[in-house]
Amino acid sequence: VTAAMTAVGAAVRRLCPHLALGVQVLCAANQQATAVALAAGLDFIRVEGFVFSHVADEGIINACAGDLLRYRKLVGAENIQIFADIKKKHSAHALTADISVAETASAAELFLADGVVLTGTATGLPADPGELREVQCAVKIPVLIGSGVTLENVKNYLDANALIIGSYFKREGYWANGVDPDRVKKFMEHISKLRE
């Protein structure tokens, strides 16, 4: 997986030499993502399990901030930014039910995340706009929305620093389908009108 992601990342970097590019390797393979980003010349990684343990669909994910930061320094990848999921989708957070999403974001900032990613409970499900405001008040680092943004609800997330859009840009809005250029165009035109 690491070798394949590196090959893909390097190919995309060659095609887009000036675009900010990043990578995520699922199942909390955060050190592997760092290695991919370093080898492929990418700018950032998306990390799950950065702070506070949780139970994900792939099992228990333990916090990795210390280990990941030490690894990043060891391999000379300190220029690669870390965008950390907080209260990550497809996960149960009963282990940390007494810790709010804002406290989780603050912990990620304390452990030197460059930004935090707020999601809904599953792929394609929207993040809570109230949680976006709560997290933005709690941290000084960028807050990204990482799931569930659609043409119909994007107005709820315009204050976020970035939007990660996957499922909505696919045919019929289904994550496993190919990208639908018409959906992308319509969405981007809508965003342009909202910003006028």
In DSSP terms, which residues pair with 59 in a beta bridge?
Answer: 56
Distances (CA, A) of 52 to 44, 111, 120: 21, 11, 18
Domain residue ranges in the chain: 49-165
Residue-wise pLDDT for 34-51, tens only, equals 999 999 999 999 999 999
Task: Please tell me whether the overall predicted TM-score, pTM, comes out greater than 0.75 for this model.
Answer: yes
Residue-wise pLDDT for 127-184, tens only, equals 999 999 999 999 999 999 999 999 999 999 999 999 999 999 999 999 999 999 999 9
Q: How many CA atoms lie within 13 A of 67 on its CB side?
A: 12
Which string of DSSP letters, residue by residue, matches 75-137? TT-TTSEEEEEES-SSEE-GGGTTS-HHHHHHHHHHTT-SEEEE--SSTTPPPPHHHHHHHHH
Superfamily of domain 49-165: FMN-linked oxidoreductases (3.20.20.390)
